[in-house]
Amino acid sequence: MTTKKNWPLWEVFVRSKNGLEHRHFGSLHAADEEMALENARDVYTRRNEGVSIWVVESKHITASNPENYGELFEPAQDKVYRHPTFYDLPDEVKHM
């Protein structure tokens, strides 16, 4: 019952309106990029959800591993001096 070759998996990104970025909406299977776009239109934008679609074959995405969370993201946690609230200002200064 299986086909000789399976349709690959694609990730779908949709821009909901101009001025906003494309956002990940979900994924789907399609034989090629053209079909992936057509299917994305039918599966993810039946109610005016978008004005532009990107599709990319899932295998081309490189993702970070949750196991490396510590070394990747924890160093940023103790760098409060990267935020404006770290700095003391006299009350008289209104806009800065």
Partner 1 sequence: MSEEQIKNLETQFEARIARDEKIEPKDWMPEKYRKTHIRQMSQHAHSEIIGMLPEGNWITRAPSLRRKVALLAKVQDEAGHGLYLYSACETLGISRNELYDQLHTGKAKYSSIFNYPTVTWADMGAIGWLVDGAAIINQVPLCNTSYGPYARAMVRVCKEESFHQRQGYEIMIKLANGTPEQKEMAQDALNRWWWPSLMMLGPTDDKSVHTEQSMKWKLKRKSNDDLRQQFIDQTVPQADLIGLTIPDPDLKWNEETGHYDFGEINWDEFWQVVKGHGPMNKERMKARVGAWERGEWVRDAAVAYADKKQNRKEKQAV
The binding site for partner 1 (CB under 8 A) comprises: 1-7, 9, 26-29, 31-32, 35, 42-44, 46-47, 63, 65-67
Give 6 or 85: the residue with its C-beta nearer to partner 1. 6
Total Cβ atoms within 10 A of residue 25: 19
Residue 90, token pair as written in the block:
């006299």
CA 64, CA 87: separation in Å to the nearest integer?
Answer: 33
Give 61 or 80: the residue with its C-beta nearer to partner 1. 61
Question: Least distance to partner 1 from the beta carbon of 50, Å?
Answer: 13
Give 63 or 80: the residue with its C-beta nearer to partner 1. 63
Q: What is the DSSP letter of 77?
A: T
Question: Least distance to partner 1 from the beta carbon of 82, Å?
Answer: 25
CA 92, CA 64: separation in Å to the nearest integer?
Answer: 45
Give 63 or 93: the residue with its C-beta nearer to partner 1. 63
Backbone dihedral angles phi then psi of residue 6, each to the nearest 5 degrees? -80, 145
